[in-house]
A and B are shown apart, each in its own frame.
Chain A
C-alpha cells in the first residue's frame, strides 16, 4: 500500500516531501543554504555600505582641510579661485564646496545652506541644502559633509553618496546572479541525488510490500552490497528473505505432510464405515448415527484436501489450465447455483454482470471455486437476511470480480490475517467452516496474477479480485 503511494507521489513534489526522508533532507539542506547565502549577502551589503560611507566622510574632510590649507597659505582670493576650479571640475555635482563668511552668507560655492556647522554631518538635497545648479535643486540626493571653522568664516565640503548605492547595486547583482545560480545548481543537485536515493528506497519498499503480500520469493536485484548503506540494507534484506522463505517452506512442508499422512488412515476409516450403511438390517437410529459419523470423516478429509490443494497451488504444482474464461458466464452459473442456497439460508443474492465481455485467461474450475468460496463466505459470516451482490466489472483492460455483503465486515487490522490458513475471526469461532476458504481464494487469485482486496462496504465487506483481460 505504501509502495503504491510512493509511485504516485513521485509526481507530486509537495506530497513527496511528506513521505520521503531524503527529499525532506534535501529540502532542509537547500533551505539552510539559501538562508546562509542571504545572511552572508546582507552582512557584506551593510559592511560595504559602512566602509564606503567612512571613506566618503574621510574624503569630505580631506577636501575641507585642503581648502583650509589653501586659505591659510594664500588667502581668501586664492581660496575663492580654488573653490571655483573644484566646482568646475567636479563631475555631475558629486562634490560640493562652500565658503560662508562670518555674516553666514554663502559667499561662493555650488550649494546653499541655512546654517554653517563644524565636523561631519549627513545632508539631504532639498531639505538641508539647496543645489541651485543641479537638476531639481538636488532633491533626493544625499551627501556626507564636513564643516571647518576658519577665522574668516566656514568651509563646508560634501560628497554625494550615490556611489554607495551604485556599489550596493553591483553587489546585489553579484549576489543575485552568482550566488543565485550556484544556489539553484546545488538545490537541483540535492534534489536529484535525493530522488535517486528515494527511488531506491521506494524500490525497497515495493519489495517489502510484495513480501508482506506473501510473495516470499521476491528479492532486491541490482544490489551493490559494498556501494553504500542502501545497498547493504538490500543485501541484508535478501539474506533475511532467503532464511525466512526456507523456514516457511519447511513449516509448510510439515503441515502438508501431516495433512497427507492423516488423510490415508481417515480414508480407511471411512471405507470401513461405509459398507455398514448399506446393510439392510441396521436399526434406523444406528444408521443415522453412522451417516453422521461418515459425514464428519468426510468433512475432515475435505479440510485436508483443501490444505493440500492450497499447498499445490502455492507450490506452483498446479499450473492453471490456460483457457479463455468469460467471467460474466462464470458468475451467472455460480449465481444460479448458489441463489437457492441463499434463499434457503434467508439471504438475498443478486448478480450484476458487465455489459462488456470479461474474458480472462485461466482455469475455469479454479476461478469458479474462488467465486463460490467468496459468496459462501458471505453466506456464513452475515446475519440473515443479508444482501449479497456478485458483480463483474470491466474497466481499463481489467476484469474485476466483486462480492459485497451488508454483514458485520472485517475490522481493517484483521483484513490481511483472514487470508492465513485456519485463521478465523474471534466472533466466528463457533460458526461452520474450515477457515481455509479465503486462503484458497487468495492462492487462486495469485496464481492468476490477481490479488484479493478486502474493503469496507459501509456496512459490510467487499471482496474483489481483478484480472487482466485478453
Chain B
C-alpha cells in the first residue's frame, strides 16, 4: 500500500515509517498539513495517517481539505491526548478511524488492515463462512461442520464481527468498539473472557482451531 504520513514529530514519524516499511508498505512522510495537501494532489495514496496537531495546516483542516478535494482514500486520524472531542471532531471532519497516542504498532497495523479492506466487506451477504464455520445472519444460526452451535446474543455479535473481518487481526480496542461500542479499555479482562467463551463453543469440540491469538496484538479468525 502507498501510505502518506503527515506528522510533525520526527521521532514518531521515523518509528511509523520504519514499522510500515517493514510490513511492506510504500511510505512517504511530510512534516505539516500544507505539504501533505500538496503531496496528496500530486499522486494517489491508498491511505493517509494524519496527526491532529501540526504546524501550518492542522490535522482537522487537512482532513476537511482532502475530502473537499474529492480524495476518498481512507484516513486514519492520530490524536495526541485521549481527547473525546478530538475523536468526534476527526470522525466528523471525514476521517475513517482514529488512534489515540501513544498507540502500539500492532494496533496501528491492525487498523490499517481494517481500513484497507473496508470496501470489501460484504454487507449484503446473508451467510458468512470461515472454513467449516457458517453463520446464517437471517436465521441467526451458527453451524460448524454441519453441527449447530448454540450462541448467546453477545457471542453471536462477537463472532459475526470476527467473521466479517476474517484473516485480519482485531485488537482488544477494536473489538470493544465494534461489539460493545465503547472507546475505553476496561480494567478487567473483558475481551479475553468473551473470546475464551466463544472459543470453547466454536473451537474446543473440533479438531482445528479457527480463532487465533496474535501475540501482543489481538485475535484473528481464519482457517
A residues apposed to B, CB below 8 Å:
263-264, 266-268, 270-271, 274-275, 277-278, 287, 291, 294, 298, 301-302, 305, 308-309, 312, 317-321, 333, 336-338, 340-341, 344-345, 363-366, 368-369, 372-373, 376, 379-380, 432-434, 437
Instruction: Please judge, given known A-B contacts A277-B215, A302-B185, A340-B197, whether A271 and B82 are in contact too, CB under 8 Å.
Output: no
Q: Which single residue of chain B is at the shortest CB-CB distance from A345? A: B188
Instruction: Please judge, given known A-B contacts A365-B182, A369-B184, whether A308 and B82 are in contact too, CB under 8 Å.
Output: yes
Instruction: Please judge, given known A-B contacts A267-B102, A301-B102, whether A337 and B180 are in contact too, CB under 8 Å.
Output: yes
B188 adjacent to A341 (CB under 8 Å)? yes
A287 adjacent to B84 (CB under 8 Å)? no
B188 adjacent to A338 (CB under 8 Å)? yes
Q: Does B43 contact A (CB under 8 A)?
A: no
B184 adjacent to A365 (CB under 8 Å)? yes
B102 adjacent to A263 (CB under 8 Å)? yes
Quick one: which of B26-62 are within 8 Å of A by CB? none
B182 adjacent to A369 (CB under 8 Å)? yes
B15 adjacent to A271 (CB under 8 Å)? yes
Chain B residues with Cβ below 8 Å from A336 are 153-154
Instruction: Please judge, given known A-B contacts A278-B216, A340-B197, whether A376 and B186 are in contact too, CB under 8 Å.
Output: yes
Least CB distance, B16 to chain A, in whole angstroms? 10
Can you list 11 A-B contacts with CB-CB less than 8 angstroms, sorted by A residue number?
A267-B101, A270-B102, A271-B104, A274-B104, A278-B216, A308-B81, A337-B194, A340-B193, A340-B197, A433-B187, A437-B187
Chain B residues with Cβ below 8 Å from A309 are 82
Quick one: which of B158-188 are within 8 Å of A by CB? 180-188
Q: Which single residue of chain B is at the shortest CB-CB distance from A313? A: B84
A337 adjacent to B154 (CB under 8 Å)? yes
B84 adjacent to A321 (CB under 8 Å)? yes
Least CB distance, A437 to chain B, in whole angstroms? 7
Chain B residues with Cβ below 8 Å from A308 are 81-82
Least CB distance, A367 to chain B, in whole angstroms? 10
A341 adjacent to B190 (CB under 8 Å)? yes
Residue among A291, A319, A434 making CB contact with B85, cutoff 8 Å: A319
Instruction: Please judge, given known A-B contacts A274-B106, A337-B190, A433-B187, whether A291 and B215 are in contact too, CB under 8 Å.
Output: yes
Least CB distance, A317 to chain B, in whole angstroms? 8
Q: Does B83 contact A (CB under 8 A)?
A: yes
B193 adjacent to A341 (CB under 8 Å)? yes
Which residue among A278, A287, A294 has the maximum number of chain B CB atoms within 10 Å of its CB?
Answer: A278
A277 adjacent to B154 (CB under 8 Å)? no
Chain B residues with Cβ below 8 Å from A317 are 83
Chain A residues with Cβ below 8 Å from B101 are 267
B182 adjacent to A368 (CB under 8 Å)? yes
Chain B residues with Cβ below 8 Å from A373 are 187
Q: Does B69 contact A (CB under 8 A)?
A: no
Q: Could you tell me the distance between the alpha carbons of A368 and B83 in the complex, rounded to whole angstroms?
A: 16
B83 adjacent to A312 (CB under 8 Å)? yes
B190 adjacent to A338 (CB under 8 Å)? yes
Least CB distance, A421 to chain B, in whole angstroms? 15
Chain B residues with Cβ below 8 Å from A305 are 82
Q: Could you tell me the distance between the alpha carbons of A264 and B183 in the complex, rounded to whole angstroms?
A: 21
Least CB distance, B42 to chain A, in whole angstroms? 30
Q: Which single residue of chain A is at the shortest CB-CB distance from B100? A: A305
Which residue among A309, A340, A364, A365 has the maximum number of chain B CB atoms within 10 Å of its CB?
Answer: A340
Q: Could you tell me the distance between the alpha carbons of A301 and B103 in the complex, rounded to whole angstroms?
A: 10
Q: Could you tell me the distance between the alpha carbons of A432 and B186 in the complex, rounded to whole angstroms?
A: 13
Least CB distance, A255 to chain B, in whole angstroms? 15
Least CB distance, B199 to chain A, in whole angstroms? 12
B180 adjacent to A376 (CB under 8 Å)? no
Q: Does B74 contact A (CB under 8 A)?
A: no
Q: Could you tell me the distance between the alpha carbons of A240 and B173 in the complex, rounded to whole angstroms?
A: 45
B187 adjacent to A376 (CB under 8 Å)? yes
Q: Could you tell me the distance between the alpha carbons of A264 and B101 in the complex, rounded to whole angstroms?
A: 9
A333 adjacent to B181 (CB under 8 Å)? yes
A275 adjacent to B82 (CB under 8 Å)? no
B105 adjacent to A275 (CB under 8 Å)? yes
Q: Does B127 contact A (CB under 8 A)?
A: no
Q: Could you tell me the distance between the alpha carbons of A389 and B102 in the complex, rounded to whole angstroms?
A: 35
Q: Could you tell me the distance between the alpha carbons of A201 and B193 in the complex, rounded to whole angstroms?
A: 55
B84 adjacent to A372 (CB under 8 Å)? no
A321 adjacent to B193 (CB under 8 Å)? no
Quick one: which of B171-223 are within 8 Å of A by CB? 180-190, 193-194, 197, 215-216
A291 adjacent to B82 (CB under 8 Å)? no
Chain B residues with Cβ below 8 Å from A333 are 180-181
B82 adjacent to A274 (CB under 8 Å)? no
Chain A residues with Cβ below 8 Å from B88 are 321
Least CB distance, B8 to chain A, in whole angstroms? 15
Least CB distance, B99 to chain A, in whole angstroms? 12
Instruction: Please judge, given known A-B contacts A302-B185, A365-B182, A368-B182, whether A287 and B215 are in contact too, CB under 8 Å.
Output: yes
Q: Which single residue of chain A is at the shortest CB-CB distance from B189? A: A341
Instruction: Please judge, given known A-B contacts A271-B15, A274-B106, whether A363 and B84 are in contact too, CB under 8 Å.
Output: yes
Quick one: which of B107-137 are within 8 Å of A by CB? none
B188 adjacent to A312 (CB under 8 Å)? no
Chain A residues with Cβ below 8 Å from B189 are 341, 344
Q: Which single residue of chain A is at the shortest CB-CB distance from B180? A: A337
B105 adjacent to A274 (CB under 8 Å)? yes
